[in-house]
A and B are shown apart, each in its own frame.
Chain A
């Protein structure tokens, strides 16, 4: 249950913060959620990782699908040096996931070290 709540909360908070702040505010979201909802460090990491993987992967997939992947075809050639929209979406998801995961881990350790 904790896992599910912090998963949802990380997604919501990340999305909200990114409306007003730079992209790395996802780290703050994951960090804060990990402090508010204590879990074992590796569970905090996994929750946030999964949350941002879903959020960034889902958002970019949804945007790209509505775009018929026109942009992803082009930009994947620039960034990944190959024409592969799905890999670009995957790369997006992984970047968000890793940042959030480590931020949550940090939050989790902070919580633990205080107690």
Chain B
């Protein structure tokens, strides 16, 4: 022993497998696989940011109502007529720099019913949000590989088979009308391209989307056109699904046959991404940028083998080079995902667009299976506009029928429970019953939900044409999702009551009630104590985390207690907040739950709540590792509607050449500890503050808002302020200068 001590060079840990500095060399301050837009596309990007494509929006407004009324068209026929007239009204735009075409020239989507007609038709029923089918994802693999022509053949065959079923016949006629409308639009593009001697464009559009795509270029063009026509029909939050899965066969074949090289493919892909930004300001959402053009990468195939391919890598690389807010990239990972891929993703995180968003297959797939999804379908999951897990082509799910207000459920329980002299367990029972009644209310409201016919979207979903049935009548999966909003504040409030009122008995129930009722105006000392000394979620503190887990268990029990929604599906609980973190705190006309005033976690009335899964605003948090550990305790087998853990990382982190590697490791750790979904946003709080004062200097500043990214200066001030108040990790407090 003495010998050992006098020979300190013998280090028992030296032989442990550790990463040495050499492993992370050479310095990676520059991305390893940089992709740059070629000059033609750099020019296109500039034109996009300057709004140059808006100049084409000169087509006269489509007037539909009169003809629909004159012909006494049914709802499905009106929906089909809308697609047809919108396609017809579209003028052909082919700019010299474009190789993938389509620019919207009709600005407004007209109504197919007058307000009074609509009221009569929907009496006693409610539309979801704006009305038209939204927030689902087409089976793009099927669309591209069959082509609209083959879809039409299937529709005709079914029509023959079901010719005695007038409803089926009408649906199929409508579907065919929309197929022909999209195909004719493509044909007009081809004719014009031929006329102006753009034979490259003409050749492709004479073929697709009518015929199966045969090349990567054709597949991208077909997707652009079919996807854009969805929006023309009033649909929104139209997902792009598992892009690297359905696109890779085309690219692979082109590469193998030498029809395209990698750099040519990258530029085409970049152009496709740019094209998704041409009309996106016309796409409806809660705010500018919330348009749901989400795209999924990675993960396993339906048979369980790895689906990661060269296009997975290329898409991340190209998205970084394009640097626009659309499409919004998602990446499926596990704890075994290669660091190479994670580093590429981290490089995309670095530029501050707020994506990729990461989903953990190890948690999501079993969670979906536990909710009745077939394993093969579960493996095929993508995300809706924000984070909700959906099955492309197979789901007519309404993933956001509403949100439970966890702060309201907890706050009411604390008020009534303390007043009644309850034990803490009794207060929890009250929380459970409050959540139950909130869920019941949402279920009751969703029973009135009316999904309007969508013949064009039905063409793209599995089985609609085959069965002669519009997707609004249901698909394989018809579940409804409910957000569990602002869970961290609610858990912190419960933990504070348990700790201070019931365990330490340092705060009397009456004192707490008085303080809450008066917004802490007379008792700032108590507020500080609750806020600074109370157990908080995000610190790996068992006291607070137990409350978080309990809240989600109670929420899932409430959802599980409702046997089925009107469409035969279940209610899926989730952990997202969407815009509710501001609405619940400050009120909004769309809210059914009351605004919550001062809360027992020491939050004053009007203060923002936590967004999705993140520590309560302003509380002291140990750091991202403890945050990951806290949220890993939720039972995600019961909570499968999605809703990301959100980490804001300071952009100063990336001054370090190893940062990309370290962020990649953080993503791996997220998967390894068993969290479900993760957003990492790169923030520079100083520049956000400056952007509030000088918006003109920060036109291109992009931030992740909730499930989507937008331009900071285009956000409502309340959301701007909430973003500035988020926890930012990795601030450079110390640069090795002791």
**Do chains A and B interact in one complex?**
no
